[in-house]
Amino acid sequence: MLNVALPKGRLGEKVYERMARAGYPCPEVLEESRRLTFENPETGVRYFWVKPSDVAIYVERGAADVGIAGKDILLEYSPQVYELLDLGMGKCRMCVAGRADFRDDTSRTLRVATKFPNIARAHYAACGREISIIKLNGSIEIAPLLGLSDVIVDIVETGKTLLENGLAPLTTIVPISARFIANTASYQFHSDEIRTMCERLENAL
Amino acid sequence: MKTPNPQRALRALYTGCGYLPFRVRKFEDYDLYAENKRFLQSHRVLTFTDTDGRLKALKPDVTLSIVKSSGGGELRKLFYQENVYREPRPGEGFCEIAQMGLECIGALTGFDVGEVLMLAGRSLDALAEDWVLTVSHIGVVAGVLEAAGFDEEQRRAAFAAVSRKNAPALAALPDAQAAALLQSLIRLYGPLDETVAQAQELPLPPASRAALAELAALGDQLALYGLKRVALDLAVVNDVDYYDDLVFRGFVAGVSSPVLSGGRYDRLLERMGKPGGAIGFAVYLDRLELAPRPAAAFDGDVLLLFESESDLPLAIRTAERLRQAGESVRAARTAPADLRYRRVLRVRNGEVREDA
């Protein structure tokens, strides 16, 4: 039996549909209920929904054998997991964004608001730019509008939200998509099941 | 856990192969760690200033101290049981970690390397019913990278991707042929002998083939010891500045991270200006405690209650008799709150009765 951590939300539902096409169906997963885990003994999977940013923790600590996590989370928290497959779903970009008329004054420390302090720090360290990180937990776009920060580092999907707020993506740091990840110890004890699941997922487009 | 006293089981195993116990100092000069930061699992070291003004550290690692104190040259086989001080995961703060391990340093032969690998496997077997020892040789991947002419930065990126079995990252490497080979290599996983044979079928450069041949020879030696459950997994990568040869990791069912880690670290000796080779491993005993297990149903075998002083002689005689029979007995005037015992005996008026 493989424990599979699915990320709550729209992406998670699409991922589940792909799992079902790959031969791991469990229809109750999508039903509204108070249940927390969903099992299909015939195909040997047990699904559970967790907060997208927690998937990697469940997998790293072995509570889930495998899971689906965004590349943004993997880059931010660097969990010790195997990153077996790029599902090519939930595609977006990690970007530096700011007011459309933003000009970087390199004589000053740059104030960066973000949910992803590690990614932001690594990006600016590579450019050698002195920054001050402002860690926020949501509504990042408002920070440059109210003068809380000069720029933001955040996920950009279509850029519509930015545009509506008079902001624009300035630099792409890295492309993001959903990854199929596995616990390194589980891989040793369930290598055949995990590799089969990975192959089937790759082919179930 | 298979045995209630894993330390004793491991000690017997190591002394049985002629390994000698070695005790290292609790404090070490900080410079040793500053100079060899990349050798450490965590770069954070717990430091303090000694009375003479020198900066000291509570040792985060034992191998460096052993290598520092060994002369090189003649072969030394040592094992240790020490507490080390480090941050197990970023943000968790310093912890005291019980660690056991062994080191084989000096004029190494193929036999010594095989013996260390056998001891790693048998260590796991002493700790758990279900275990796997995964083995790799850095030379297999390094050979591919060298043939492709990768620079230092590309090399690091490639090893990072290999260690995570990250096929998409490998696909993005600048050399298409190397990228395809590495993607095939990280997909390989299985019993050592069979999987080495599968790898040998790939169009690998000579350096990679030589590394695979070493692994095949080790596989033959392990077969002589009757050691099974050894798997080839090229995603086993330790810091490549120190480990450029054989590397291995041990897993036990129910623990989400490796409980044993080791490899051949000749480069550390080279950096310290000592001749010879070195191989060793550490067993992380603290991680074994992370395996889920049911809480004990009882805190002891027998609770022996006596009501008055006049019952004391009979209470003591009864308790002693039960202890000799191997039971744990807590004798008391009143029952301790929150503790549970398999049986409750009451001594009253010269009689012993068991509660229903």
Q: What is the pLDDT of residues A97-113, one digit of tens each?
A: 999 889 888 889 999 99
Q: What is the pLDDT of residues B210-236, one digit of tens each?
A: 999 999 999 999 999 999 899 999 999
Task: Say which range, A166-175, B22-31, B64-73, B190-199, has the weakest mean pLDDT.
Answer: B64-73
Q: Name the pLDDT band for B42 (thresholds 50, 70, 90).
A: confident
pTM (2 decimals)? 0.86
Inform me whether the pLDDT recorded for A44 exceeds 80.
yes
Question: What pLDDT is stored for residue B71 in this prediction?
Answer: 65
Give B351's DSSP letter. E
A-facing residues of B in 264-323 (CB < 8 A) are none
Query: Which residue in chain A is spatially nearest to B168 when comparing CA positions?
Result: A86
Question: What pLDDT is stored for residue B289 in this prediction?
Answer: 79
Select the residue from B252, B256, B259, B288 to test the A interface by mutation, using most A Cβ atoms within 10 A: B256
Question: What pLDDT is stored for residue B350 in this prediction?
Answer: 85
Q: Do A84 and B165 touch (CB under 8 A)?
A: yes
CA gap B112, B109 in Å, rounded:
5
Q: Do B187 and A187 touch (CB under 8 A)?
A: no
Please check whether residue B165 touches A, CB under 8 A: yes
Question: What pLDDT is stored for residue B1 in this prediction?
Answer: 63
Count chain A–chain B contacts defined by CB atoms under 8 A: 52
Q: Do A189 and B251 touch (CB under 8 A)?
A: yes
Q: Name the pLDDT band for B48 (thresholds 50, 70, 90).
A: very high
Shortest Cα–Cα distance, B98 to chain A (Å):
20
Task: Say which range, A27-41, A76-90, A135-149, B93-107, has the weakest mean pLDDT.
Answer: A27-41
For residue B62, give every residue at least 6 positions away whose Cβ sits within 8 Å of its Cβ, in sequence order, or none: B24, B80, B82, B84, B99, B101, B282
β strands within B65-149, DSSP E: 76-86, 95-106, 131-137
* Burial track B11-42 (b if 16+ CB lie within 10 A, e otherwise): bebbeeeebeebebeeebbbebbeebeebbeb
β strands within B212-350, DSSP E: 230-232, 246-252, 260-264, 277-284, 300-306, 329-332, 341-348
Inform me whether the pLDDT recorded for B68 exceeds 90.
no
Q: Do A188 and B187 touch (CB under 8 A)?
A: no
Inform me whether the pLDDT recorded for B2 exceeds 90.
no
The contact set of A with B (CB < 8 A) is 60-63, 80-86, 179, 183-189, 191, 195
Question: What pLDDT is stored for residue B72 in this prediction?
Answer: 64
Q: Name the pLDDT band for B34 (thresholds 50, 70, 90).
A: confident
Please check whether residue B231 touches A, CB under 8 A: yes
Residues of B in contact with A187 (CB under 8 A): 189
Top-confidence residue, B239 or B249: B249
Question: What pLDDT is stored for residue B65 in this prediction?
Answer: 87
Query: Which residue in chain A is spatially nearest to B291 when comparing CA positions?
Result: A62
Q: Which helix (H) or strand (E) holds A120?
A: helix A117-127
Inform me whether the pLDDT recorded for B84 exceeds 70.
yes
CA dihedral B333, B337, B339, B344 (to 10 degrees): 40
For residue A55, give every residue at least 6 positions away whose Cβ sits within 8 Å of its Cβ, in sequence order, or none: A5, A6, A7, A64, A67, A68, A69, A73, A181
Question: What pLDDT is stored for residue A34 in this prediction?
Answer: 79
Residues of B in contact with A84 (CB under 8 A): 165-167
By percentage, how much of chain B surpasses pLDDT 90?
Answer: 62
Q: Do A185 and B255 touch (CB under 8 A)?
A: yes
Select the residue from B41, B89, B166 to test the A interface by mutation, using most A Cβ atoms within 10 A: B166
Query: Which residue in chain A is spatially nearest to B130 when comparing CA positions?
Result: A189
Query: How much is the average pLDDT of B17-39?
Result: 88
Please check whether residue B248 touches A, CB under 8 A: no
Q: Residue A85 is nearest to which of B132, B167, B189, comparing CB atoms?
A: B167
Question: What pLDDT is stored for residue A28 in this prediction?
Answer: 86
Select the residue from A57, A82, A84, A188 to test the B interface by mutation, using most B Cβ atoms within 10 A: A188
Q: Do B164 and A82 touch (CB under 8 A)?
A: yes
Question: What pLDDT is stored for residue B70 in this prediction?
Answer: 78
The total of other beta-carbon atoms located within 10 Å of residue B289's CB is: 11
Inform me whether the pLDDT recorded for A57 exceeds 90.
yes
For residue B213, give every residue at least 6 positions away whose Cβ sits within 8 Å of its Cβ, in sequence order, or none: none
Inform me whether the pLDDT recorded for B247 exceeds 90.
yes
Select the residue from A184, A186, A189 to test the B interface by mutation, using most B Cβ atoms within 10 A: A184
Residues of B in contact with A82 (CB under 8 A): 164-166, 235
Q: Do A185 and B189 touch (CB under 8 A)?
A: no
Q: Do B256 and A61 touch (CB under 8 A)?
A: yes
Residues of A in contact with B187 (CB under 8 A): 195
Query: How much is the average pLDDT of B240-257?
Result: 89
Inform me whether the pLDDT recorded for B41 exceeds 80.
no
Residues of A in contact with B189 (CB under 8 A): 187, 191, 195
Question: What pLDDT is stored for residue B224 in this prediction?
Answer: 96
